[in-house]
Amino acid sequence: MTLTNAPRLETERMILRGPEPRDAEPMIAFLLDQERAAGFGASPDRGDAWRWFALYVGHWDWHGYGYFTIETKDNGQPAGICGIWNPEGWREPEVGWVVFDGFEGKSLAYEAAQRARLWAYENLGFTTLTSNIVPGNTRSAALAKRLGAHLERTYTNIHMGEEELWRHPGPESLP
């Protein structure tokens, strides 16, 4: 049972779908891992992590877009989240990604980000997207570069402090 009006998008290896109740535990586990979730916004306790999951669900109703759950086709397990994020205080929408423990190094975030970005351009009519990356998060910066984004500037994010704003190529520049 999906909790949102999110469409179901597919790639060769994964399904991007709206959050379901079964996704709460993997997301909460990720958010409680202070080291892994540091560049995303780690939660100090389970209640805070649960509220973040509820925010993730509600974002879809508010905006009509949000983070998809990345589900692998080979085992049907939630492998992370990826999608378009634009909460209160953001200057513009971003494409963001998180891959859960055990799913790194398989290019899942790259594949998901490509598909989510294409959906935002083709279905939502966006003409530009960013990715907000905490300085020192070299893996996310490398992924942004692989997606064709370039570092535009640093700024102060109201939730995360200093961040780098990476600008993605517009729809006209994608292959």
The amino acid present at 84, given as its one-letter code, is I
The pLDDT mean for the chain works out to: 96
| Section 1-21 average pLDDT | 96
pLDDT reported for residue 159: 81
Domain extents in the chain: 9-126
| Section 34-45 average pLDDT | 93
The SS3 of residue 14 is: strand
| Section 147-157 average pLDDT | 96
How far, CA to CA in Å, does 65 sit from each of 27, 72, 116, 133?
Answer: 18, 21, 10, 20
pLDDT reported for residue 90: 86
pLDDT at position 89 over 90: no
Lowest mean pLDDT among 44-48, 94-98, 160-164: 160-164
pLDDT at position 16 over 90: yes
| Section 54-78 average pLDDT | 96
**What pTM did the predictor assign?**
0.96
Longest distance between any two alpha carbons in the chain, whole Å = 43
Domain 9-126 belongs to what architecture?
3-Layer(aba) Sandwich (3.40)
Residue entry with tokens 């759950």: 69
How far, CA to CA in Å, does 12 sit from each of 27, 72, 99, 128?
Answer: 23, 10, 17, 25
pLDDT reported for residue 91: 85
